[in-house]
Amino acid sequence: MQKNIKEIQSLLGFSSYYRNQIKTFSHITGILYKLCSKNVLFETTKESRNAYNRMEHDLTNAPEFEPPLNSYIDADCTQGLGAALNQRKIVDGEPREGLIFYISSNLKD
């Protein structure tokens, strides 16, 4: 569960890249964005906890790896180390990015 605004903002930033893979992305993130608004007391509710948990669930229960499809790795090291294994798939005639696996780690000071 989220502990502070920075943690929620981090999840929102990461998940926005995968908005096409999360069915109710706008609804879930709308709840979390309200929690991060300026001049709003940071107070978690059952609704915000459920939204956060749903987002984590949707990101970590990715489709299975399909070897014949094109795969690529996105890496990021702006605030720590992170990488995501993705595949390009055709869904309903449209190309989609599919998250297969991701990993992240903080850098020690």
Q: What is the pLDDT of residue 92?
A: 86
Residues 54, 100, single domain; the answer is no
pLDDT tens digits, one per residue of 18-32 = 776 777 788 888 889
Which residues of the chain fall below pLDDT 70? 1-2, 20, 62-63, 109
State which residues form the domain around 19. 1-61
Residues 73, 104, single domain; the answer is yes
How far apart, in Å, are the Cα atoms of 36 and each of 29, 44, 91? 11, 10, 33
Residues 70, 54, single domain; the answer is no
Number of separate domains in the chain: 2
Residues 73, 102, single domain; the answer is yes
Residues 2, 36, single domain; the answer is yes
Whole-number average pLDDT of the chain: 83
Residues 46, 93, single domain; the answer is no
Q: In terms of pTM, does the model score above 0.85?
A: no
The angle, 0 to 180 degrees and rounded to 10, between the axes of the packed helices 25-35 and 46-60 is 130
Q: What is the pLDDT of residue 27?
A: 87
Residues 32, 77, single domain; the answer is no
Task: Indicate the burial class of 56 (C-beta count within 10 angstroms; 0-12, 13-18, 19 or more).
Answer: middle
